Amino acid sequence: MADTALAPSVAPPGAPPTTKGADKELLLTGSYDDQELLDLWDDIKRELGDHQWVFHKQWQRNLYYVLGRQWITYQSRYGGWRDIRMASWIPRPVTNKCKETVQAIRAMFTSIKLSVNVRPNGADPKNVSAAATADDLAPLLHETHLMNQALSEFDFWLCVTGNAFFHTFMDYDIKHGKLIITAEQCTQCQTVTSSDKLAGAQPNCPSCGGSQFIQATDPMTGAPIETRQAKGIPATVVL
């Protein structure tokens, strides 16, 4: 009898074939052995990490200069930049020209007011509506993400290091408060579903498709079933 343990099972037309046995393990782990994965890791480490110290060295030096620590020298055996040992009678300049230059450039950047002008990509009504909505929301998003503060910090890192990036994310810190999410129970199949999963003007039960719901309660205590989660707010930080 032919061995059919590795043969893909029958799947509906258009659906990806499902496998079992060794083929399933191959799909999960890939066709690479340990040595090939180690070689790939070495390549990525060499390309991304081996030469970063060159940039970090210059960035740290620039930061020291702006902060007024300018009489320094780089000594790799001591772990980086160190103050130059000089006799006490040798005069040192006290005017921080680096800081003055950075402040002048940042002042010029601050005078430039950036704006957003969203235009539709085509004449389709959906594109026009999306562009108009985004254009109207731009001032609100600018204020919500504290972009004036973020742009000021961005200008500093751009001037001092030549590199700066915006990172936008949802901040789920507990300091922003909590949200109480209730649960709804379908009157047809009695399925309990979190209210955040029931979207739309007329939500439907994910199990039976019903549209009638009541508030779900704990059968032991009779208290409403609720879950609490941290309230997220949109945020933008500068890297």
Q: Which residues of 186-221 are buried (b: 16+ CB within 10 A; e: fewer)?
A: beeeebebebeebeeeeeebeeeeeeebeebeeeee
Tally the domains of the chain: 3
Q: State pLDDT tens for residues 110-156.
A: 888 888 889 998 889 999 999 999 999 999 999 999 999 999 999 99
On whether both 131 and 148 belong to a single domain, the answer is yes
On whether both 177 and 234 belong to a single domain, the answer is yes
Domain boundary among 83, 112, 135: 83
Compute φ and ψ for 116, nearest 5 degrees.
-120, 130
Domain boundary among 36, 51, 83: 83
Name the CA dihedral angle for 188, 192, 196, 201, rounded to a multiple of 10 degrees. 10
Domain boundary among 60, 83, 106: 83
On whether both 109 and 64 belong to a single domain, the answer is no
On whether both 157 and 169 belong to a single domain, the answer is no
pTM exceeding the 0.75 threshold for the entire prediction: no
On whether both 74 and 119 belong to a single domain, the answer is no
Decide if 238 contacts 166 (C-beta within 8 A): yes
On whether both 178 and 239 belong to a single domain, the answer is yes
Write out the residue range of the structural domain in which residue 170 sits: 165-195+212-239
On whether both 159 and 174 belong to a single domain, the answer is no
Please determine, for residue 166, whether its predicted confidence score (pLDDT) is greater than 60. yes
On whether both 74 and 111 belong to a single domain, the answer is no
SS percent in the chain: helix, strand, coil, step 5: 40, 20, 40
d(CA 11, CA 17): 6
Section 93-122 average pLDDT: 89
On whether both 102 and 156 belong to a single domain, the answer is yes
Q: Does some domain include residue 137?
A: yes
Q: Does some domain include residue 204?
A: no
On whether both 238 and 182 belong to a single domain, the answer is yes
Q: Does some domain include residue 3?
A: no
Q: Does some domain include residue 201?
A: no
Q: Does some domain include residue 1?
A: no
Q: State pLDDT tens for residues 2-33.
A: 444 444 444 444 444 454 555 545 445 567 78
**pLDDT grade for 189, boundaries at 50, 70 and 90:** confident
Q: Does some domain include residue 91?
A: no
Helix (H) / strand (E) element for 175: namely none
> Is residue 168 classed as helix, strand or coil in its secondary structure?
strand
Decide if 184 contacts 213 (C-beta within 8 A): yes
Q: Does some domain include residue 101?
A: yes
Q: Does some domain include residue 202?
A: no
On whether both 158 and 169 belong to a single domain, the answer is no
On whether both 55 and 74 belong to a single domain, the answer is yes
Distance in angstroms between the alpha carbons of the first and the last residue of the chain: 63
Decide if 203 contacts 227 (C-beta within 8 A): no
Mean pLDDT of the chain: 82
**If you ran DSSP here, which 8-state letter would residue 229 be given?**
E
